[in-house]
Chains A and B, each alone.
Chain A
Amino acid sequence: MNSIAKYFSDIFKGISSLWAGMRITGKYFFSPGAIVTQQYPENRATLKMEERFKGEIVMPHDANNLHACTGCGICEMNCPNGSIEILTDRVANAEGKMERVIDKHIYHLSMCTFCGLCVKTCPSDALAFGQEFEHAVFDRSKLTKVLNQPGSKIRKEAK
């Protein structure tokens, strides 16, 4: 007799537990609430990444096309993947002394893991993270970027 009672109580317990699950999905069926999915290509205009978002490495230039990179090579040294290459030049400055300046700051986006060590260790804060994230290109070589803009110079701090 006990087993028969257990048989029927099992059935009812089972059905009620199933119904509990169906209530949840049913609730969402009738009141879906906020949908977290972002409609990406449509919301491009309004899409704003977080300000700390690590999209790519950029070298901020000001209005006079000046940057802060001295070409010291610390970022190159700290990069774990060799995604930064620094090419430097020696140029005579105003006083006639030869001085090391940056020629090209080459950044291989394809190798970068966004660990952030270059940005953190840069002694002159010349590097920053950009918010751009649409990096898909058809040619791998396009992922190699020169970060200092052509004709740009190093910003001399007012002394």
Chain B
Amino acid sequence: MSSNIFDFATLTGSIHTWLSGMMSSGWVIFTEMVLVGLVFLLMYALVGLFLVYLERKVCAIMQNRVGPNRVGKWGLLQTIADLIKLLMKELIPIRKSDPLLFNLAPFIVIICSFLAMAALPYAKGLQAIDFNIGVFYVMAVSSLSVVGILLAGWSSNSKYSLIGAMRSGAQIVSYELSVGLSLLAIVVFSGSMQLSTIIESQANGWWIFKGHIPAFISFIIFLVASTAEINRGPFDLAEAESELTAGFHTEYSGIKFAFFFLAEYMNMFIVAALGATVFLGGWMPFHIGNWEGFNQIMDYIPSVVWFFGKTFFLILIIMWFKWTFPRLRIDQLLTLEWKYLLPISLFNIVLIAFIVLMGWHF
């Protein structure tokens, strides 16, 4: 099955053999690491810039506006112009701030989102590292960014920043639970934490369809909780601009601000990619059971397209949330998590365990 999906492993394998012919094995690994690093760096920048553009355009259309349309065709180069502007802006040192932590914080945030990208499968055979605890790794790494946010808020010597950082801490720590539990639902279904295994297990249908209603509920919970975890509206309390001006990054300027900004968008990409991988089959085409003919046709669409299509679909939903809803208050945010999402997902996981135990899922 899925035989005619192009496997990127053949491409990467041939590069590996070509490199092995030229140098010793130690150098081969080094060169490959540098290559992969470069590719990720490029992708990070491109996807990040495109997401910023997409967000602006999507919200403009939703709000009956035109959106960026000055730089380049349809304003496509607008974010690049913004990046150049941010690069050239002055880095303002803050009096009585903690310079080491102040400068370190944006790097922590951006490194965390960078690390998570390594474990995501972008297409068949296109995955930097296939951990056997892939789901756990991505979650652990992406939640580390709260350290950067807390440091940023603490070290800027600004009261608004500090409030924003404290909110963010409370928020991420609590919503981490729901994200974990909702992902755990699919881990229980597929019996593995390895992302490649989870995808393979969806070859006869995605988990959101195969897993009955509990899988759907955990998908919804995942969407809500991960929106909260990446500090996006309606859960953008950490940077609530009408309350805290800009929250934890009030005092940052220039490229350090750009790091926070880019990391926020990349985190959105990462959670969307994770959600697409776990619930919607990642790069796996839309398959229905054993309708061989139908599945064959679906296989003609390249797996990269499937992956990015699903990811951007989820990103659009997250954007849709942000541009529709008012912001929650901090106590309501925690109420939502501890009184609604967590009990429901706990109950849900028990239900799923029971379903799996009885073998009722497809």
Measured CB to CB, the residues of A under 8 A from B are 11, 18, 21-22, 24-26, 28-29, 32-33, 35-37, 39
Contact = CB atoms under 8 A, between A and B. Distances in A.
Interface stretch (B58-66, B138-146, B167-175): B58-66
B70 to A, nearest CB: 10
Interface of chain B, main secondary structure = loop
When A and B form their complex, which 4 residue pairs have the shortest distance between CB atoms, in order from nearest?
Answer: A25-B62, A25-B324, A21-B324, A29-B62
A33 B62 CA distance: 10
Contact of B320 (A26, A35, A36, A37): A26
5 contacts: A22-B320, A28-B64, A29-B58, A35-B65, A37-B66
Contacts of B321: 22
A44 to B, nearest CB: 15
A22 B323 CA distance: 9
A35 B63 CA distance: 9
A28 B66 contact: no
A33 B340 CA distance: 38
A25 B66 contact: no
A32 B61 contact: yes
Interface in B14-71: 58, 61-66, 69
B64 A33 contact: yes
Q: Tell which of A26, A35, A39 has the most Cβ of chain B within 10 Å.
A: A35
Contacts of B62: 25-26, 28-29
B340 A11 contact: yes
B354 to A, nearest CB: 20
Interface in B138-188: none
Contacts of B323: 25
Given A22-B324, A24-B324, A39 B58 contact: no
Nearest to A23: B324
Interface residues on B, range: 10 to 19
B291 interface: no
A25 B320 CA distance: 8
Contact of A28 (B61, B69, B325, B340): B61
Given A18-B325, A24-B324, A35-B64, 14 more contacts: A18-B324, A21-B324, A21-B325, A22-B321, A25-B324, A26-B320, A28-B61, A28-B63, A29-B58, A29-B320, A32-B61, A33-B64, A35-B65, A39-B69
Interface of B: 58, 61-66, 69, 320-321, 323-325, 340
Contacts of B69: 39
B262 to A, nearest CB: 25
A26 B64 CA distance: 11
Contacts of A39: 66, 69
Contacts of A35: 64-66
A36 B64 contact: yes
A46 B281 CA distance: 52
A32 B67 CA distance: 12
Contacts of A22: 320-321, 324
A35 B61 CA distance: 9
Given A11-B340, A29-B58, A37 B324 contact: no
Nearest to B65: A37
Contacts of A24: 324
Contacts of A18: 324-325
Nearest to B234: A18
B324 A32 contact: no
A3 B330 CA distance: 24
B340 A32 contact: no
A77 to B, nearest CB: 46
Nearest to B323: A25
A39 B65 CA distance: 11
Contacts of B58: 29
A36 B61 CA distance: 12
A35 B69 CA distance: 14
A18 B64 CA distance: 20
A40 to B, nearest CB: 11
A26 B320 CA distance: 8
A36 to B, nearest CB: 7
Q: Tell which of A29, A33, A36 has the most Cβ of chain B within 10 Å.
A: A29
A21 B326 CA distance: 10
Nearest to A36: B64
A99 to B, nearest CB: 57
Nearest to A37: B66
Q: Tell which of B62, B65, B321 has the most Cβ of chain A within 10 Å.
A: B62
B71 to A, nearest CB: 14
A33 B325 CA distance: 22
Q: Tell which of B58, B63, B64, B65 has the most Cβ of chain A within 10 Å.
A: B64
Contacts of B66: 35, 37, 39
Q: Tell which of B61, B321, B325 has the most Cβ of chain A within 10 Å.
A: B61
A79 B340 CA distance: 65
